[in-house]
Amino acid sequence: MEKLIERVILTLWYYTSLIIKKQEIQRIEAIQMGYGCDAVISGVYFYDGSNRCLGNKRTLADAAYSGAVLCAIWKARCIAVDLATIIVGHLAPDLDCLTAIWILIRFGGMSQTELQFVSSGSTLHSQPVDSNPNIIHVDTGGGRFDHHQRLQRDLCAAELVRRSVAPHNRALERMVYQVNRIDHAEDRSGGFFNIQALINGYNLLFPNHPHHVAYAMLPNLDAWYETEDRQIRLEEAFEKRIEFETPWGLGIAMESVDGGSGKLAFSRGAVLYAYRDGQGWMGVAAQARSSVDLSEVFDDLRMVDYDADWYLHPNRRLLLCGTAKSPPRILSRLTLVELIRVIQGRELTAAPFSEHVSTS
């Protein structure tokens, strides 16, 4: 059994590391218990030759036992439907169409569904829209999940689906709000590269295979959703922030599962912020164009927190003890309040502090 799981992990690792190319997405043989099954993969999302999503499994072991194709990277928690459902979007799908499809799959219980695409405004097989309960049209056809006939600037296909499927999900609401602004050309943020450019690139790679575009974008929309969800948690934690004076101006400290937020701290006029996250990792970061020099703070930390893996960035405006890029061997023993005192140059004695914690 362990060897089988190891084979599943290695196969998943190999295929998820491939870059999607313009050629037909290659077929792979899914590892199963005693028999094989053809499947195709786009990015990190598996589906079969009929464009049907094969669902996801919450653990590798579950996938090995059930013999299902593995979608472990894609983190949707959907309820499988007994009756296959077809989701219909329009050709060359845009952000609104793709987000509406993603919401139905991730939050609408459609983990096993077939995707079909038609000319914009039309319906599958020219049938009356919404006449078949097993076929859902999004952003096309003039049905319940198409906004074009409504002429309302606060509506898009994704918003209509959200209101129907997950009306109380705050992270999703914020995400779809941005989708709606983009769909109505109200977003002026621009930038070097954005999600619309990514979708345009996929449509250039797969001009005749819109379902490839859809499956390639599902994990990207997952990532966007996770970012919005994290931002909500940070904003809630920021309400309990500590404001303090530093030699350079206002400092802000916060403690949360996700750490700190320079965006929130600097928007409140802070010149630097300090944080402690749920893993015990700590940090201090100053505005990029500030005159802050944390060299003395670093020296003081080496005195009072001598065994911890504090790191001073060469720009001298960033102090870290633990990051995802470089987990610490020994965590800081300081509380957030104690770290503030060190930044202020106060109470630089090691005695009051608790013992260090090793992560080894």
Question: In this structure, are residues 208 and 92 in contact, taking their beta carbons and an 8 Å threshold?
Answer: no
Measure CA 357 to chain center. Answer: 31
The rounded percent of the chain whose pLDDT value lies above 90 is 64
Mean pLDDT of the chain: 80
Q: Is the per-residue pLDDT at 89 higher than 60?
A: yes
Q: What pLDDT is attached to residue 142?
A: 93
The tokens describing 310, both together, are 């504090």
In whole angstroms, give the CA distance from residue 57 to residue 124.
30
Task: Name residues whose C-beta falls within 8 Å of residue 156's C-beta, 6 or more positions apart in sequence.
Answer: 96, 139, 147, 176, 179, 180, 183, 184
Q: Is the per-residue pLDDT at 26 higher than 80?
A: no
Letter for the amino acid at 182? I
Mean pLDDT confidence for 300-319: 95
Residue labelled with tokens 């502090």: 353
pLDDT tens per residue across span 240-296: 999 999 999 999 999 999 999 999 999 999 999 999 999 999 999 999 999 999 999
Letter for the amino acid at 326? S
Q: Is the per-residue pLDDT at 3 higher than 80?
A: no
In whole angstroms, give the CA distance from residue 69 to residue 89.
24
Mean pLDDT confidence for 306-335: 94
Question: In this structure, are residues 138 and 157 in contact, taking their beta carbons and an 8 Å threshold?
Answer: yes
Beta-bridge partner residues of 329: none
Q: Place 67 in a pLDDT band, splitting at 50, 70 and 90.
A: very low
Q: What pLDDT is attached to residue 24?
A: 36
Q: Is the per-residue pLDDT at 193 higher than 80?
A: yes
pLDDT tens per residue across span 216-247: 999 999 999 999 999 999 999 999 999 999 99
Question: In this structure, are residues 255 and 233 in contact, taking their beta carbons and an 8 Å threshold?
Answer: no
Q: Place 348 in a pLDDT band, splitting at 50, 70 and 90.
A: low
Strand 249-255, strand 282-286: pairing: unpaired
Q: Is the per-residue pLDDT at 14 higher than 50?
A: no
Strand 135-137, strand 85-90: pairing: parallel
Q: Place 355 in a pLDDT band, splitting at 50, 70 and 90.
A: very low
SS (H, E, C) the chain: CHHHHHHHHHHHHHHHCCCCCCCCCCEEEECCCCCCEEEEEECCEEECCCCEECCCCCCHHHHHHHCCCCCCCCCCCCCCCCCCEEEEEECCCCHHHHHHHHHHHHHCCCCCEEEEEECCCCCHHHCCCCCCCCEEECCCCCCCCCCCCCCCCCCCHHHHHHHHHCCCCHHHHHHHHHHHHHHCCCCCCCCCCCHHHHHHHHHHHCCCCHHHHHHHHHHHHHHHHHHHHHHHHHHHHHCCCEEEEECCEEEEEEECCCCCCHHHHHHCCCCEEEEECCCCCEEEEECCCCCCCCHHHHHHHHHHCCCCCCEECCCCCEEEECCCCCCCCEECCCCHHHHHHHHHCCCCCCCCCCCCEECC
In whole angstroms, give the CA distance from residue 216 to residue 266.
35
pLDDT tens per residue across span 140-171: 999 999 998 887 888 999 999 999 999 999 99
Closest CA to 261 of 271, 273, 251: 273
